[in-house]
Structure formats: C-alpha cells, structure tokens
Amino acid sequence: MNVNIFHHRYRYLFILLLAGYSYLNILFTSGDQLLEISLAKWQFFTLILSVVVLVWEVNRWLWKQISLRLALSLSRLTPLVPYFLLSLVNVLFSSLVVVYGATLWQGGVLMENMSLLKLALAFAFRINLFLHTVNAIIYFNSKLKDSRLEAERLKTINAESQFESLRNQINPHFLFNSFNVLTELVHKDADIATNFIQQLSRVYRYLLYNQESEIVSLKAEMEFVEAFIFLLRIRFGESIAIHTDLSDQQMESYSIPPAAMQIPVENAIKHNIVSKKRPLTIKIFLDGDHLVVRNNLQRRQTYIESGGLGLQNIQQRFAYLTQQEVQIEENETHFTVKLPLVKKVAV
C-alpha cells in the first residue's frame, strides 16, 4: 500500500519535470494561445505548475486516507478503483483552486475565466490520468514482486516445516520407543500388539499421505490424534491421561494444518515429568474458534535441549492460513497452546 508514485522521495523533482515537459509540449503544439486564451509564457508555466502540484499533492493525501481505511477494515480489495474515482473530484478541486487564485491575482471575477477553467480542467484531467496509469503499473508490479517473495518465503517455511515434522514425527527415538513397546507386547498380549501395529500404521500413513497438504479437516486430524494417543497410552500406561472433548458437529465445521496437534502433545511429554506418581494430564478441547491443547505443568529437572522450532513452524503455517495467531500461555500450573481453526465455507 505504501508503494506508489505520489510518495516517491523525488516527487518534487518529478513535479517540476512533468510541468516543464507539459509546458514545452503545449507551447510547441498550440503556441501561447489555447482555447482562445492569451497568456504570457511565465503565466502559462505557473498555471501548469500549480495544477501539477495540486493534483499530485491532493492525490498523495487521498492515498494516505484510503490506505488507512483499508488497513483498519483489513480489506484485501485493490484501492486503485476508489482512488481513481476520488481523484476525479481532485481534478475539479485543483482546477477551481488554480483558476480562482489566478482570478484573485488579476482582480477579476471567476465567471469571466470560464475558458481558463476549461483549460485547467482539460490539463488536470490529462495529468491525473497519466499519473494514475503510472501509479497502477508501479502498484501491480509491486504486488507481483511481493507475491513472488511471499511464494519463495512460503516454500522456505514449507520446507522447514516438513523437515521439522519429519524430524519430530518420524524420528529414530519415536520408532525406537514404539518398537520397544511392540517387542514387549508381542510376548505379553498378541491382540494388543496387533492393535498397536494397526494404530502405528495409521499414524505413519496419515503423516506420509498429508505431508504435502496445507490443510485437512479437523475430523481427519482427530482420527490421527486418536491413533497417536493410543500409542502413547500403551507406552506410558497410567502415567499419562489424555482427554479429548470435541463433538462430531464441531469437527465437521473446521479445518487445521495436518499434524498440528501432535507437536504440542509431544512437547508436553518431552518437557514434563511423566510417571505413575506424577501423571501427565493433557486435555484437548474447543474454545470458540480455537483448538486448545493444555497440560499440567511439572517441568523436568534435567534440561532437554529444544530450539522451539516445532511451535515456530506451526505458528508460521497458521499465519499463512488465518490472521489469528497461535496463542501460547503458561502459568504456575498449566501450559496451554491455542490453535486457531479455519472455518469451513458452506457450499
């Protein structure tokens, strides 16, 4: 919104050059008489310069006002159409001001200078149209450049997110722990071992199938989370309690980036004590348009290195999808991550 010709740092030089070019162009094509108006050369140049200055500066002021209104309304509509329509009012305003000033200077009456007003209007309209054409080119070129930069930024974020997701979700530690649990189950309970393999397969099938997806339904995500929770319950037993409280209607109404809920759950396990004496409790529920993942806080005494990339990545992924931010809250008893959900559009 700030990229436009009217706010260029060399705008006063451009105003002088535009007035000089217009003056010479009209002078050599129409002479010093236009619309049956005879003006001295310095008067004619002063008239042109005054029109250019007023058209330019009022347009600059209008751009600020439109930018502010659109920013406050969070509108993504192009400002060029209302901007140009308002500039036509500026053409009339600038012409009247210039002619009125010239009339006062000459000590005459405004009605006696109607031909001069027509001249000022014709010139102001041409200058205004030229400036808005140049401004539109600059505006859309800037938008194109921004979209290319945004596309490159999103590619980088997506690559980092995929790397972090694979590192967190399909990492050797998780596989090692899962296989250890599976080895014990095979000897103790073949039925549970079979179920464990099925749920583990569901987890990895979901991760691999959706690793390129930007968004999935909340219902699909919760089915993945239920499979993931099953693996955690088998691994930790009574040391962990995970509660989900979402209705089918709620899950059908929203979408979410894939595996977004897994990172807060894994972080809770990674950074907190998980034992029978001090069980870790994780609650997953809906609060308005946010999915909340909350765990009781019981920090490990031993420090576990973490760059915080997991939460950073989901924050960036959500920033691409919605203007609402991921909220991270911590107090003496709980750690909470609130993920903004994307409302499904009714078809």
Q: Are residues 103 and 180 in the same domain?
A: no
Domain membership of residue 12 (yes or no) is: yes
Domain membership of residue 234 (yes or no) is: yes
Q: What is the pLDDT of residue 241?
A: 93
Chain-wide mean pLDDT for the chain? Answer: 78
Q: What is the pLDDT of residue 175?
A: 72
Q: What is the pLDDT of residue 245?
A: 87
> What is the distance between the alpha carbons of residues 113 and 119, in angstroms, rounded to a whole number?
10
Asked if 266 and 310 count as a contact pair (C-beta separation under 8 A), the reply is yes
Residue-wise pLDDT tens digits, 291-309: 999 999 998 876 555 545 5
- Consecutive H or E run containing 285: strand 280-287
Cβ-in-10-Å burial (0-12, 13-18, 19+) of 169 comes to buried
Provide the number of structural domains found in the chain: 2
Domain membership of residue 222 (yes or no) is: yes
DSSP 338: E
Nearest 10 degrees: CA dihedral of 232, 221, 293, 167?
60
Helix 262-271 with 114-169: angle, nearest 10 deg? 50
Q: Could you list the pLDDT tens digit for every one of the 347 residues in the chain?
A: 455 667 777 777 877 787 777 777 776 666 555 545 556 667 677 777 888 888 888 888 877 777 666 544 544 556 777 777 787 888 888 878 877 777 766 665 554 567 777 777 777 888 888 887 887 887 788 778 878 887 787 777 766 666 555 445 445 566 777 888 888 888 888 888 899 899 988 988 888 888 777 788 999 999 999 998 999 999 899 999 999 988 888 888 888 888 888 888 888 988 899 999 999 999 999 998 899 999 999 988 765 555 455 677 778 778 777 888 899 999 999 999 999 988 875 54
Radius of gyration of the chain (CA): 33
Q: Are residues 103 and 249 in the same domain?
A: no
Nearest 10 degrees: CA dihedral of 6, 8, 13, 14?
-50
Q: What is the pLDDT of residue 336?
A: 94
Domain membership of residue 160 (yes or no) is: no
Instruction: Name the residue range of residue 22's domain.
Output: 5-151
| CATH code at position 249 | 3.30.565.10
Which token pair is 122? 């014709």
Which token pair is 319? 């920033």
DSSP 77: S
Q: Please give the single-letter amino acid code of residue 186.
A: V
Q: Are residues 199 and 331 in the same domain?
A: yes
Q: Are residues 324 and 179 in the same domain?
A: yes
By DSSP bridging, strand 327-330 and strand 334-340 are antiparallel
By DSSP bridging, strand 254-256 and strand 342-343 are antiparallel
Domain membership of residue 158 (yes or no) is: no
> What is the distance between the alpha carbons of residues 128 and 94, in angstroms, rounded to a whole number?
11
Q: Are residues 63 and 199 in the same domain?
A: no
Domain membership of residue 88 (yes or no) is: yes
DSSP reduced 3-state for 4: coil
Q: Are residues 128 and 277 in the same domain?
A: no
Start-to-end CA distance of the chain, whole Å, equals 33
- Which residue's structure tokens are 């050599």? 28
- Which residue's structure tokens are 């009125």? 100
Concatenating the DSSP letter of every residue in 229-261 gives HHHHHHHHGGGEEEEEE--HHHHHHEEE-TTTT
Share of the chain above pLDDT 70, in %: 78
By DSSP bridging, strand 290-296 and strand 334-340 are antiparallel
Q: What is the pLDDT of residue 163?
A: 52
Asked if 14 and 8 count as a contact pair (C-beta separation under 8 A), the reply is yes
> What is the distance between the alpha carbons of residues 146 and 152, in angstroms, rounded to a whole number?
10
Q: Which of 151, 182, 217 is the last residue of a domain?
A: 151
> What is the distance between the alpha carbons of residues 58 and 2, in angstroms, rounded to a whole number?
16
Indicate the pTM of the whole model: 0.52
Q: What is the pLDDT of residue 72?
A: 47
Q: Are residues 132 and 226 in the same domain?
A: no
Q: Are residues 192 and 91 in the same domain?
A: no
Q: Are residues 108 and 208 in the same domain?
A: no
Q: What are the counts of helices (DSSP H) followed by strands (DSSP E) for the chain? A: 10, 10
- Consecutive H or E run containing 162: helix 114-169
Asked if 211 and 157 count as a contact pair (C-beta separation under 8 A), the reply is no
Domain membership of residue 119 (yes or no) is: yes
Question: Which has the closest alpha carbon to 259: 187, 210, 301?
Answer: 210
Q: Are residues 131 and 9 in the same domain?
A: yes
Asked if 214 and 161 count as a contact pair (C-beta separation under 8 A), the reply is no
Asked if 290 and 340 count as a contact pair (C-beta separation under 8 A), the reply is yes
Which token pair is 168? 């967190």
Q: What is the pLDDT of residue 74?
A: 45
